[in-house]
């Protein structure tokens, strides 16, 4: 039995944070019903690097995080559509939405309104800034949140910062935070049958992950600064040039530094007055890095990585996305899930599984990402609608 088997989640979300949250729940066995706008659906269906997929409303961005879900199209502005949704809510355990604050209230589908149909409902609202506060009505995109959260201020180096992180980190963190909160609420509901209203702010979720940088200001009174590929807490700890490729080294402990010097054939560096003490190495990190890179030119990043790790010095190559997906570690851990010819696009697709493994059976999506509205009739029949009623709903514009 999967961890969330028997849990029904209504996914009203678009683009990234919400769909990513619900994808995690789907991989754990939840029955995730993706409720989409008729004809267009989730905006992510039109996003991604493959124009042909976008044209068929099966964009790569959508495929990345919607496997294992069923798709139902409902017009929530239509009275009959609202009634369908309320009927569905009565069968659900969780609702996840990422509209701007107030949208569900205006649709008369707020948490308070829906509790009448499902007393112990867990309702998770994901937004850029939360349901309260002066910014709550502002549109929120990942880059906006990255800038406001301080992430960009510590990304890059003194010449390039502030710099955006190279993927939608704020959206992703928001989704992970929401999935964690939903799982916790489900656990409590098992004990006391209580529902919950969850308010996830992408800004706050992102800021929380910056604990070390934030604490340097809150506790130590030091404003965090961009360090590029260097580690503010230690040296040598950062990215180094080798004879072939870049190498990350994290010799954060004195013993690791001593061992690194020995491995690269520069034992004298460990006794050099400039570098003997941890704080001295941090002050003179650029001088030390230059000395180390001269020695690293003798081998490739791959060779040095194997040698360092074998001898207790943490290190790793700097890889591209294609390289890491082809790495033996990724392959052996079976991180990539493959689906055969996927409806709507007639081609095989691959997606990433969840970031953890379970002794009882690893998380994975059971079905490929759905074509828009693929499961509408089947779900309505499950709710008790007959074919004539479904036809009427379509004629009314509810579906």
Active centre residues (catalytic): 171
Tokens of 82: 């609202």
* Cα gap 315→306, rounded to integer Å: 8
* Cα gap 226→228, rounded to integer Å: 6
* Residue 398 contacts residue 78 (beta carbons within 8 Å): yes
* Residue 124 contacts residue 97 (beta carbons within 8 Å): yes
What are the residue ranges of helices labelled H in the chain?
17-27, 51-55, 60-63, 79-89, 103-106, 111-114, 142-149, 169-192, 202-208, 211-218, 254-263, 268-271, 278-283, 285-296, 301-310, 321-325, 328-332, 376-382, 387-396
Helix (H, G, I), strand (E, B) or coil at 36: strand
* Residue 70 contacts residue 34 (beta carbons within 8 Å): yes
Strand order in the sheet with 237-241: 237-241, 246-250, 315-317
* Residue 59 contacts residue 46 (beta carbons within 8 Å): yes
Nearest to 24 by CA among 352, 359, 335: 352
Tokens of 100: 């701007």
Q: What is the DSSP letter of 17?
A: H
Helix (H, G, I), strand (E, B) or coil at 154: helix
Nearest to 293 by CA among 229, 225, 211: 229
The phi-psi region of residue 192 (left if phi > 0; otherwise alpha if psi is between -120 and 50; otherwise beta) is: alpha
Rounded to an integer, what is the distance from CA 199 to the centroid of its chain? 17
């Amino acid at each position: 039995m999967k961890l969330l088997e028997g849990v029904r989640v209504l996914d009203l979300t678009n683009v990234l944070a919400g769909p990513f949250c619900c994808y995690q729940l789907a991989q754990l066995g939840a029955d995730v019903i993706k409720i989409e706008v008729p004809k267009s659906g989730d905006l992510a269906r039109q996003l991604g690097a493959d124009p042909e997929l976008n044209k068929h409303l099966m964009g790569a961005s959508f495929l990345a995080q919607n496997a294992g879900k069923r798709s139902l199209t409902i017009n929530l502005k239509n009275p009959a559509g609202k009634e369908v949704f309320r009927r569905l809510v009565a069968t659900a355990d969780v609702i996840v939405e990422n509209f701007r604050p107030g949208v569900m209230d205006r649709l008369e589908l707020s948490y308070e309104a829906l509790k009448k149909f499902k007393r112990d409902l867990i309702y998770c609202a994901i937004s850029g800034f939360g349901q309260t506060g002066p910014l709550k009505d502002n549109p929120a995109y990942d880059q906006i949140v990255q800038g406001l959260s301080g992430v960009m201020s510590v990304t890059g180096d003194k010449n390039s910062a502030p710099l955006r992180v190279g993927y939608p980190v704020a959206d992703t963190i928001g989704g992970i935070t929401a999935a964690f909160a939903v799982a916790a609420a489900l656990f409590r509901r098992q004990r006391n049958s209580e529902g919950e209203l969850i308010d996830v702010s992408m800004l706050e979720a992102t800021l929380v992950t910056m604990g070390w940088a934030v604490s340097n200001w809150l506790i130590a009174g030091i404003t965090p600064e961009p360090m590029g590929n260097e580690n503010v807490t230690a040296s040598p700890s950062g990215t180094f040039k080798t004879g072939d490729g870049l190498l990350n080294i994290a010799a954060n402990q004195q013993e690791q530094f001593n061992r690194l010097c020995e491995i690269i054939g520069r034992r004298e560096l460990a006794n050099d007055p400039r570098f003997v003490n941890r704080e001295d190495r941090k002050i003179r990190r650029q001088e030390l890095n230059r000395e180390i890179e001269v020695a690293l030119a003798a081998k490739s990043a791959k060779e040095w990585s194997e040698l360092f790790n074998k001898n207790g010095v943490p290190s790793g190559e700097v890889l591209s996305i294609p390289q890491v997906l082809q790495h033996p570690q990724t392959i052996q851990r079976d991180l990539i899930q493959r689906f055969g010819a996927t409806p709507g696009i007639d081609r095989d697709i691959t997606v990433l599984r969840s970031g953890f493994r379970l002794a009882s059976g690893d998380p994975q999506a059971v079905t490929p990402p759905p074509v828009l509205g693929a499961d509408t009739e089947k779900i309505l029949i499950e709710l008790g609608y007959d074919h004539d009623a479904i036809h009427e709903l379509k004629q009314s514009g509810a579906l």
